DNA sequence: CTAGGGGTACAACCGGTGGTTGTGGCTGGG
DNA sequence: CCCAGCCACAACCACCGGTTGTACCCCTAG
């Protein structure tokens, strides 16, 4: 099935005659005939009944037609997603299940008419470079990590403080706790594969470790959060940190426990970054939406790294 | 943009290396390279950064990837829509804005997991033939028109009685009425273009005309309901009938009036038809859904043709 | 009944797209 | 420093998909 062929099918169905469709597409009637025949051969059904004064859709053709339209629409959107100028708003988030993802879902619900593309970049350097080059419109990051000054033309605003929670399996010592003070985590094995050196979120956990005497193991390759959760659920002595806004889709009965951390509660300081001169109209809408929906939380009893950009 | 090329792109993005993608697709690495290059040329952006040990997505590539997946999914669904055996449930309705359309929307809302295709056939003969041939799974029709016995193997059940309403422009004599007795319509011009002789719905209006002394003009070609409504809205002496369950999407201020008809209220007897031996699992689900949701209305004060199949 | 017009399918031909193999260049690791 | 691994370029060739020319079918008008 070829998109040009599908386009031809739609044109022929629209016109009701191959000749007219051929004229529209600026090809010969015979070419249309051959394309349709090829499509019918490929699908294994007859799409048109050829009559003396044209061609009309069979029932199979009628059923196929809306799908053909949809196919062309999706193809158009796919091409638009990488068109320079007037492309969908492109936003970078840390992980598909993190807090930024939830914010973008909320934005999409509030403004379904705005086309969005979400990408996931690893480190802030590429994100900043992409913002400056215009390849990216906005990025959710924690701003202010030491030794990483933001260029002048990158603007940002704190948008969300996300409290961290401890994730354990059912056999973990702390599994029954309703909450756990941060200091009590010292000595426990906390496993966070995928902590890439040099990234701002690794800097966050480095500071957390240094300040409260925790031990975090970043060993082993990151096989994805599913594998991580699987291991944590099955290993009594293992726990991990997880953003409190993460939505878990997890089979019931697995017994994973999410335990709030207190005294203080570590919160991750999400900020939105963008290029000062980015002219994308939807960017202003996104900023307004975030400003309106993410009310400032009380910072009392919480911890963020000293370098975190102020609210 | 060609679907095979998109498939290649997805495979290469998945694998992270052109060679591996080539092995999966059973073509040479050079072919993958050329396909990707062609796609990039067509889109006008670079999708991969080629490194010494593979190829990884650029930001544009990351943005394009979900659209590519969607494209392949839609293509798969399009092909499935005409696959013989295990294709989506295919239902025939009279008009895209009629009551049957509303019933199917409700069914889709209740069972979003069931794939549907909706087609619109003109006359019952083709519908019945399609049901018997297996090209069609179900059809919403009025059953029982004289001289048109249903074959033995076609089963049916009355599912919905739809009251007719009068549709007028703001300047019509009856525009202010809250309801109008059927007898008062005698002498008024009622315009219903598109009444094709020989169809069951034309038989319905023929009976209505004969029994209550109405005059219905079926003159002129049917330019679609939009044109019909436009004319009715602008012509003071003109009115038309419309199913009471029809959802009109009409610019505000046009002043179209929908007036219930009484004494008696003509109702259109929608039935669902299917082939007795049709094995499609979703057909049973549809029948159960319709049985559960379309409660029997009170027939008092309503009119249906004498030939209408009993409830 | 016949002639004509409008419509589609088939045949023959041909150019360019898209595959192949062979090869070279780049890069990171031993 | 060289080798291994991977991608791009070049040359070649088959076949897909376009073109023109023509046959055939059906409906309609005279």
- The two tokens of residue B101 are 């359309």
CATH class of B85-311: alpha beta
What average pLDDT does this structure show over B54-63?
Answer: 92
CATH class of A3-80: mainly alpha
Nearest nucleotide by C1' from B4 CA?
A: C18
The predicted structure's pLDDT at residue A131: 94
CA dist B55 and B15 (Å) reads: 9
- Candidates B210, B177, B88, B69; CA nearest to A63 is B88
> Is the fold of A3-80 the same as that of A85-311?
no
The predicted structure's pLDDT at residue B251: 58
Q: Min CA distance, B200 vs chain A (Å)?
A: 20
Residue A94's pLDDT band (cuts 50, 70, 90): confident
Residue B250 sits at φ, ψ, to 5 deg, of -140, 135
The predicted structure's pLDDT at residue A282: 95
Round to a whole number and report the distance in Å from the CA of B64 to the C1' of C25.
29
What secondary structure letter does DSSP report for A195?
A: -
Residue B249's pLDDT band (cuts 50, 70, 90): low
Contacts of A77 in chain B (CB under 8 A): 67
The predicted structure's pLDDT at residue B223: 64
Q: Where are the domains of chain A?
A: 3-80, 85-311
Q: pLDDT at residue A40 above 70?
A: yes
Name A217's bridge partners: A191
What average pLDDT does this structure show over A24-41?
Answer: 92
- The two tokens of residue A104 are 């973008």
Task: Considering only the C-alpha atoms of chain A, give the largest distance between any 2 of them, rounded to a whole number of Å.
Answer: 86
Alpha-carbon dihedral of residues B139, B144, B149, B152, nearest 10 degrees?
60
Closest residue in B to A68 (Cα) is B78
Q: Min CA distance, A134 vs chain B (Å)?
A: 11
Tell me which nucleotides of strand C come within 7 A of a protein CB.
5-11, 18-22, 26-28
Round to a whole number and report the distance in Å from the CA of A38 to the C1' of C18.
18
CA dist A274 and A153 (Å) reads: 9
Digit-coded pLDDT (tens) for A105-145: 999 999 999 999 999 988 888 899 999 989 999 999 998 87
CA dist B221 and B311 (Å) reads: 34
* Partner residue facing B43 (CB), from A2, A43, A82: A82
Q: Taken in order A13, A19, A24, A27, is the CA torsion positive or negative?
A: positive
Mean pLDDT of chain A: 87
Digit-coded pLDDT (tens) for A220-249: 666 666 667 777 777 788 888 888 887 766
Name A258's bridge partners: A167
Q: Lowest mean pLDDT: which of A61-70, B26-35, B211-220?
A: B211-220
Digit-coded pLDDT (tens) for A157-190: 999 888 888 888 888 888 888 888 888 888 888 8
Mean pLDDT of chain B: 87
Round to a whole number and report the distance in Å from the CA of A299 to the C1' of D2.
59
Residue B239 sits at φ, ψ, to 5 deg, of -140, 170
Q: pLDDT at residue A253 above 70?
A: no
The predicted structure's pLDDT at residue B168: 87
Residue B75's pLDDT band (cuts 50, 70, 90): very high
CA dist A305 and B305 (Å) reads: 79
Q: Which long-range contacts (CB under 8 A, 24 or more apart) does A205-208 make?
A: A205/A241, A207/A305, A207/A306, A207/A307, A208/A266, A208/A303, A208/A305
The predicted structure's pLDDT at residue A252: 54
What average pLDDT does this structure show over A41-68?
Answer: 91
Residue found by looking up tokens 């990488």 in the block: A82
In our burial notation (b when 16+ CB lie closer than 10 A, e otherwise), range A241-250 reads bbbbbbeeee
Closest residue in B to A47 (Cα) is B82
pLDDT greater at residue A245 or residue A11: A11
Tell me which nucleotides of strand D come within 7 A of a protein CB.
4-10, 17-21, 25-27
Q: Lowest mean pLDDT: which of A203-212, B20-29, B158-167, B210-219?
A: B210-219
Nearest nucleotide by C1' from B52 CA?
A: C27
The predicted structure's pLDDT at residue A141: 92
Residue B178's pLDDT band (cuts 50, 70, 90): confident
Which of A70, A78, A125, A134 best probes binding to B when mutated, by most B CB atoms within 10 angstroms? A78
Closest residue in B to A117 (Cα) is B63
The predicted structure's pLDDT at residue A295: 72
* Partner residue facing B71 (CB), from A60, A74, A119: A74
Round to a whole number and report the distance in Å from the CA of B50 to the C1' of D7.
7
8 Å CB contact between B256 and B174: no
Nearest nucleotide by C1' from A53 CA?
A: C7
SS3 B299: coil
Which of B42, B67, B89 best probes binding to A when mutated, by most A CB atoms within 10 angstroms? B67
- Candidates B102, B104, B145; CA nearest to B123 is B145
Which of B36, B38, B46, B81 best probes binding to A when mutated, by most A CB atoms within 10 angstroms? B81
CA dist A180 and A167 (Å) reads: 11
* Partner residue facing B70 (CB), from A74, A79, A126: A74
What average pLDDT does this structure show over A261-277?
Answer: 92
Q: pLDDT at residue B263 above 90?
A: no
Which of B60, B76, B87, B95 best probes binding to A when mutated, by most A CB atoms within 10 angstroms? B60
Quote the radius of gyration of chain B (alpha carbons, Å): 27
Question: Are B84 and A45 a contacting pair at CB < 8 A?
Answer: yes
Question: Are A90 and B64 a contacting pair at CB < 8 A?
Answer: no
Q: Min CA distance, A92 vs chain B (Å)?
A: 9
What average pLDDT does this structure show over B20-49?
Answer: 93
Q: pLDDT at residue B38 above 90?
A: yes
pLDDT greater at residue A27 or residue B184: A27
Residue B224's pLDDT band (cuts 50, 70, 90): low
Q: pLDDT at residue A91 above 80?
A: yes
CA dist A267 and B229 (Å) reads: 59
Q: pLDDT at residue B33 above 90?
A: yes
pLDDT greater at residue B294 or residue B44: B44
What average pLDDT does this structure show over A18-34?
Answer: 92
What average pLDDT does this structure show over A100-107?
Answer: 92
Cα separations in angstroms, B167 against A242, B185, B234, B256: 60, 12, 12, 7
Question: Are A71 and B78 a contacting pair at CB < 8 A?
Answer: yes
Name B240's bridge partners: B167
What average pLDDT does this structure show over B242-266?
Answer: 77
A interface toward B at CB cutoff 8 Å? 1-3, 6, 43-45, 47, 58-60, 62-64, 66-68, 70-71, 74-75, 77-79, 81-84, 88, 90, 117-121, 126, 130, 135-136
Q: Taken in order B260, B261, B264, B270, is the CA torsion positive or negative?
A: negative
The predicted structure's pLDDT at residue A150: 87
Residue A263's pLDDT band (cuts 50, 70, 90): confident
Residue B221's pLDDT band (cuts 50, 70, 90): low
Q: pLDDT at residue B12 above 80?
A: yes
């Amino acid at each position: 099935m070829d998109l040009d062929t599908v386009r031809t099918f739609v044109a022929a169905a629209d016109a009701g005659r191959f000749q007219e469709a051929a004229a529209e597409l600026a090809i010969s009637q015979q070419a249309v005939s051959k394309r349709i025949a090829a499509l019918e051969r490929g699908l294994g059904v007859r799409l048109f009944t050829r009559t003396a004064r044209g061609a009309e859709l069979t029932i199979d053709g009628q059923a196929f037609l809306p799908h053909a339209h949809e196919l062309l629409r999706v193809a158009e959107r796919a091409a638009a997603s990488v068109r320079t100028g007037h492309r969908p708003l492109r936003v970078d988030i840390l992980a598909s299940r993190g807090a930024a993802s939830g914010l973008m879902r909320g934005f999409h619900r509030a403004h379904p008419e705005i086309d969005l593309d979400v990408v996931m970049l690893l480190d802030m350097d590429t994100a900043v470079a992409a913002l400056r080059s215009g390849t990216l419109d906005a990025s959710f990051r924690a701003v202010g990590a030491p030794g990483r000054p933001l260029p002048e033309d990158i603007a940002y605003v704190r948008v969300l403080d996300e409290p961290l929670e401890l994730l354990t399996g059912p056999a973990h010592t702390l599994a029954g706790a309703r909450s756990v003070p941060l200091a009590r985590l010292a000595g426990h094995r906390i496993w966070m594969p995928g902590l890439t050196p040099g990234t701002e979120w690794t800097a966050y956990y480095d500071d957390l470790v240094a300040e409260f005497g925790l031990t975090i193991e970043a060993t082993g390759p990151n096989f994805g959060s599913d594998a991580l959760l699987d291991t944590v659920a099955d290993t009594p002595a293992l726990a991990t940190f997880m953003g409190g806004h993460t939505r878990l889709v997890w089979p019931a009965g697995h017994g994973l426990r999410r335990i709030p951390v207190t005294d203080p509660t570590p919160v991750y300081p999400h900020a939105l970054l963008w290029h000062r001169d980015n002219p994308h109209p939807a960017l202003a809408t996104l900023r307004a939406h975030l400003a309106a929906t993410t009310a400032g939380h009380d910072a009392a009893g919480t911890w963020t790294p000293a370098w975190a950009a102020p609210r």
